[in-house]
Structure 1
Amino acid sequence: MKVKEDILKNIRSLIQIGWKGRLIKIGYDDTLKSLKKGEKGFLIIAKDISKRTKRNILYKYEGDYFEIFTKEELGNMIGKKEVGIIFIPENKYGLKLKDSLQKALQLLN
C-alpha cells in the first residue's frame, strides 16, 4: 500500500510544518481557547483519548474532526511525548491537510 504510506507521510509532514509555523494548537486548553475566540477550523483527536475529554471537547465544538492516530503518534510528529487533540485552522494550509486526512480515511476503510 505505497499510496497509503505516502498519504500518511504527507499528513505527518503537514502537521510538522503547522507546528513549526505556529499554525496549529495542541492540547485541550489551547484548542478550547481557539474555539472560544471563534476561530474556524477542525480537529484531529487521538484514537486513544479518554472518553470524557472527547465528550467535553465535542460538546463545545461542532464541526469536522478526524480520529486517525494515537496520542503517541501525534506527539511524535511534533516532538512531544503524547498529544490528544490538535486544532487546525481553516486556511489554505488547513484545507490541504484536511484533504489528505479525508483521503487517508477512505483508504483505511
Structure 2
Amino acid sequence: MTGQGGEPSPLEKNRALLDWLEYQVVQVKNRIRELEIQEEQERRRREAAHAALRWKIQPQRSNATALLHRGDCTLYPMDGGFINREEAMIALAEPDIEPCEICRPDTGLVSG
C-alpha cells in the first residue's frame, strides 16, 4: 500500500528497512566467519613457527634408540613437552639418543 503522493507507507518503509537489516546481518555473519577462519589459520601458523624453533624427544622403544626430532616433525606428533636448544644439544650428546633422519634436528643445531 502506498501512502499519499505515491510515497511508500510507513509499513512498507519498515518492511524495506527490515529486509535491508536482515541482508546486513547476513553480510556481517559471513565476515565474522571469514575473520574467524583467518584468526585460526594465523594461530596455527604461529604455533607451527614456534614448534619449528623447539625440539622433542621420542622415547626409546624396545629395540630402537630414542630419537630427537624438530618440534614440527610429523613423524612423532605430540602436544607439549618440547625442549629448548640447549636441552636438544645435550640430548644429541647422549649415546642412546639419535637425530631423526627425516627432519634432521641436528642440522644447524650444533653450529648455530
State the TM-score bracket (shorter-chain normalisation): under 0.3
Taking structure 1 as the reference length, the TM-score comes to: 0.26
Taking structure 2 as the reference length, the TM-score comes to: 0.25
- Larger radius of gyration between Structure 1 and Structure 2: 2
Tell me which of the two structures has the higher relative contact order, counting C-alpha pairs closer than 8 angstroms and 6 or more residues apart. 1
